[in-house]
A and B are shown apart, each in its own frame.
Chain A
Amino acid sequence: MREIVAFSLLNGAVYGLLLFMLSSGLTLIFSMMGVLNFAHASVFMLGAYFSWQISRWIGFWPALVVAPLLCGLIGAAIERYGLRGVHRQGHVAEILFTFGLAYVIGELVIMGWGRNPIENRVPAVIDFAAFRVFGTSYPFYKVLMTLISVGMFTFLYLAFKRTRVGLVIQAALTHPQMVGALGHDVPRLFVLVFAIGSALAGLAGVIGGFALLTEPNMAAALGPIVFVVVVVGGLGSIPGAFVASMLIGIVQTFAVAVDYSLMDLLRTLGASVPASPFLREVVSVKLAQAAPMIPYLLLVLVLIVRPRGLMGTRET
């Protein structure tokens, strides 16, 4: 039992950190521009594919730097040459633009690397045991994932609180017009934020690609969960995104490990088991089966009960 708890905690934390890397960029983009960026997870996917490709050419360590930079450039281009033109048609058009972009990036990935998952294995340089818990070795690449995401969190936090650009971005999150009126180039700030957010997504792709299955569908699978994190954490709040990522990561990992259903609970409480076959089926769904639903349940509940999210300063 203790073993299960320890491993679920560890794996949940690693998954949560991965989610955080994805959502920290998205929460910046979302709160600053009000754009629900559907293409964000697609950039994450591009990061995974780029890192695989670049690793094959020049090795893993260079790929760890080059792939996120490429993703950042792509993000900047999306904002500068795509969204900026759509901006004057309003938010719906912007959302739809990124929605279409997600389709197109998914297809471009198929065009580049085929429909089947690529063999994105953990590179040999980071594939060794870091330490042992309960007689099972814990892989180093997961430790590396943790280190990189914690480092990134610190970097982001300091950049926000201590640098001039950080302060301007923070101001632009809540009062873009005022920041513009004070003479700051807000559109350029948008490009910068988009580039940083996309680079972070790309970085998450590099180190998360081999933890998940690298295939053209991975963006569609992960995209909605990242939205959940952003909404639950609260708009524009990096700490909120962090807390929400860890929450969802750990809860989901635990749920997968729990093999109980409502039926078991009813029996333990000594309550009667429902007679109708349909209700019986409903209560006998195991928590592990229902795990994929948990984030969405959380999303709907938060949006209905507290649209500000856990740590947000304003409504979605």
Chain B
Amino acid sequence: MIARARPAWWLGAAVLLAVLPWVPGLQSDFGRSLLSQMGIAAIFALSYNLLLGQTGLLSFGHAVYFGLGGYVSAHFMRAINAGLPVPIALVPVAGALAGLAFGIAFGALTTRRGGTIFALISLGVGELVHATSLMLPSFFGGEEGVTASRTKAPHPLGLDFGSQLQVYYVIAAWLLVAALLMHAFMRTPVGRLCNAVRDNPERVEFIGYNPQRVRFIVFSIAAAFAGLAGGLHAINYEIVAAEALSATRSGEVLLMVYIGGVHHFMGAILGAAAITWLQVSLSDYTTAWLLYLGLLFMGIVAFVPGGLAGLVTMHLAALRTRALAAIARAYAAALPVALLASAGAITLIEIAYRRSTQPEAGTRMKLFWIPMDTAKPWPWLAAAALLAVGAAALLRLWPRVSRAWASAGEELHGRG
């Protein structure tokens, strides 16, 4: 269940969003652009979590509504460029309405069932819309997509969108509004019914509600917020292309929400920020970043069903127990060997990637400040040995960690 919203909490969030672009390190155009992307991703992920986390609907085509919202917004912006007297900051409303309209149209057909059937239909609709987008260039702009300008428009309140900072503040304001609305929606009776449909659809039907209707309503609303995020995407990049509604983007938002944690409202925001940051920064360091992302995702699915948000709440709860010291000691013992194993794995992955994807860069490379030659056997052997020793030691130390957590769990449950 979603907790009641505390005004102080939202005020804190607003202050945080206002201060973020002035934090050292984020004070550049690059940092503010990163924050803007995070904000868009956060709205998109929150809308996806209405489906996956709150209603238990696994969609493989949520980007359809993000992309269509983006396209409609881009066309709306072009109309503004041509003289329509509407401020650019209101463009996402057009995106949200488009998302809502398409959500209602597609949702009426696709939300009759939940579970695997819904997942498969969403996949099919996603592929259909993507294929259509390449066939109808007059609306979708073909391969290049649709471009529009965010500066050629009326400038109320001095908002001329000349700087990334202004774009960021508009995105942040929309993020706050969207998060508030979605949070409020989950506290309405329909929102609570969503959780019931997720947990036990048969029983919902039994007490006289129609799960199909609930799924349809939440689907349309999620599509509207996805469209809103798409509108912000159009403002931020001034271009929308077929990639915005592709299966790749649908998969991305699934990764964000699941890694962030599906059981927690903050999870989607956390996941969106983390994955966007990884996309932007990790891709500078390594070409293998998608592999690391995939491994992280699989690790979370297999071992941490609560995601990052689940980890955070788990540790916050443990702070209040006496087992804290034991947990800290177990971590301190496990951390070095975990780092050792990761170093081995990363080295193996990096040299293999260098050999196969950048043969033109030669066989000599530097990793962790150590020069090595991928044509020689020793880097491979050393990395494999590191990985094997580290993994073996980690397997031996892991029972200590789980014992410490077990005693913390007992203490928490004992208290009730």
CB distance from A294 to the nearest CB of B (A): 10
Chain A residue numbers with a CB within 8 Å of B294 are: 100-101, 103-104, 107
Residues of A within 8 A of B131 (CB): 290, 292-293, 296
Q: What residues on A are CB-neighbors of B138 within 8 Å? A: 277-278, 281
Interface residue B336 (Cβ < 8 Å from any Cβ of A): no
Chain B residues with CB under 8 A of A104:
291, 294-295, 298
Which residues of A in the span 72-110 have a Cβ within 8 Å of any Cβ on B?
82, 85-86, 89, 91-93, 95-97, 99-101, 103-104, 107-108, 110
Binary flags per residue of B159-177, CB closer than 8 Å to A gives 1, else 0 = 0000000000000000000
Mark out the residues of chain B between 224 and 269 whose CB falls within 8 Å of any chain A CB in the assembled complex: 247, 251, 254-255, 258
Is A82 touching B302 in the complex (CB atoms < 8 A)?
A: yes
Q: Does A114 sit at the interface, judged by CB under 8 A? A: yes
A73, B16: Cα distance in complex, Å = 51
Closest to B298 in A: A100
Indicate whether A300 reaches chain B with its CB closer than 8 angstroms: yes
Q: Mark B298-315, 1 if CB is under 8 A from A, else 0.
A: 100110010000000000
Q: Does B362 contact A (CB under 8 A)?
A: no
The answer, among B56, B121, B247, for a CB contact under 8 Å with A303, is B121
The reply to whether A300 and B119 form a contact with Cβ atoms under 8 Å apart is: no
Within B111-163, which residues are at the interface with A (CB < 8 Å)?
A: 112-113, 115-117, 119-121, 123-125, 127-128, 131-132, 135-139
Comparing B186-194, B322-330, B351-359, B371-379, the segment that makes contact with chain A is B351-359
B301 CB contact (under 8 Å) in A100, A281, A304: A100
Whether the Cβ atoms of A97 and B125 lie closer than 8 Å is no
Interface membership of chain A positions 276-316, coded 1 if the CB is closer than 8 angstroms to chain B and 0 otherwise = 01100110010001101100110110011001000000011
Q: Tell me the chain A residues, 251-266 only, with Cβ under 8 Å from chain B.
A: none
- CB-defined contacts of B139 to chain A, threshold 8 Å: 278
A241–B291 alpha-carbon span in the complex (Å): 33
Q: How large is the interface on B (under 10, 10 to 19, 20 to 34, 35 or more residues)?
A: 35 or more
* Size class of the A contact interface (CB-based, 8 Å): 35 or more
Name B119's contact: one of A95, A101, A289, A293 (CB within 8 Å).
Answer: A95
Cβ of A112 < 8 Å from any Cβ of B? yes
Q: Which residues on A sit within 8 Å (CB–CB) of B291?
A: 103-104, 107-108, 110-111
Closest A residue, CB atoms, query B348: A111
A17: CB under 8 A from chain B? no
Q: Are B58 and A95 in contact (CB under 8 A)?
A: yes
Given known A-B contacts A111-B356, A293-B131, A92 and B56 have beta carbons under 8 A apart: yes
Is B290 an interface residue when CB atoms closer than 8 A count as contact? Answer: yes
Question: Would you call A300 and B121 a contact (CB within 8 A)?
Answer: yes
A289/B135 contact (C-beta < 8 A), A300-B125, A303-B124 known:
yes
A285: B residues at CB distance < 8 A: 135-136
Contact between chains at A36 and B116 (CB < 8 Å): yes
Q: Is the CB of B124 within 8 A of A89?
A: no
- B106: nearest residue on chain A (CB-CB)? A300
Query: Do most interface residues of chain A lie in helix, strand or loop, or is the interface mixed?
Result: helix
Which residues on A sit within 8 Å (CB–CB) of B128?
A: 293, 296-297, 300
Complex CA gap A111/B286 in Å reads 12
Answer yes or no: B207 CB below 8 A from chain A CBs.
no
Query: Contact at B120–A304, with CB atoms within 8 Å?
Result: no
B343 interface hit (Cβ, 8 Å): no
- With a CB–CB cut-off of 8 A, which chain A residues contact B404? none
Selected from B112, B258, B353, the residue in CB contact (under 8 A) with A111 is B353
Question: Beyond A99-B251, A303-B117, A304-B109, is A112–B352 a contact (Cβ under 8 Å)?
Answer: yes
Q: What CA separation (Å) do A277 and B139 show in the bound complex? A: 11
Assess whether B56 is in contact with A113, with CB atoms less than 8 Å apart.
no
- CB-defined contacts of A108 to chain B, threshold 8 Å: 291
- Asked if B293 lies at the interface with its beta carbon under 8 angstroms from chain A, I say yes
Q: A91-B115, A112-B352, A304-B112 are in contact. Are A107 and B357 (CB under 8 A)?
A: no
Q: Are A114 and B56 in contact (CB under 8 A)?
A: no
- Residue from A224, A290, A303 whose CB has the most chain B CB atoms within 10 Å: A303
A2 to chain B, nearest CB (A): 30
The CB with the most chain A CB atoms within 10 A, among B58, B120, B138, is that of: B120
Interface check A188, CB cutoff 8 A: no
Residue B297, interface by CB 8 Å: yes
CA distance A103 to B248 in the complex (A): 11
The answer on a CB contact under 8 Å between A110 and B353 is yes
* Complex Cα gap A299–B128 (Å): 10
Contacts of B121 in A (CB 8 A): 299-300, 303-304
Interface check B278, CB cutoff 8 A: no
- Quick one: given A85-B302, A86-B302, A92-B58, are A227 and B349 in contact (CB under 8 Å)? no
With an 8 A cutoff between CB atoms, is B288 at the interface? yes
Q: Indicate if the CB atoms of A100 and B124 lie closer than 8 Å.
A: no
Known contacts: A96-B258, A100-B298, A285-B136. The answer to whether A107 contacts B116 by CB under 8 A is no
Q: How far is the CB of A217 from the nearest CB of chain B, in Å?
A: 11
Closest B residue by C-beta to A30: B116
- Whether A107 contacts B290 in the complex (CB less than 8 A), given A99-B254, A285-B136, comes out as yes
Per-position 1/0 for B37-62, Cβ under 8 A of A:
00000000000000010001010000
Partner of B123 from the list A89, A227, A290 (CB cut-off 8 Å) is A227
Contact partners of B117 in chain A: CB under 8 A = 303, 307, 315-316
Choose one: B56, B116, B301; the contact of A96 (CB below 8 Å): B301
Nearest CB of B to A104, in Å: 4
* CB nearest to A97 among chain B residues: B301
Identify 7 residue pairs between A and B in the complex whose beta-carbon atoms are under 8 Å apart, listed by A's number. Answer: A115-B357, A227-B123, A278-B139, A290-B131, A299-B121, A300-B110, A300-B121
Known: A92-B56, A296-B127, A307-B117. 9 other contacts (CB 8 A): A82-B298, A96-B58, A97-B301, A97-B302, A111-B356, A224-B124, A224-B127, A282-B136, A303-B113
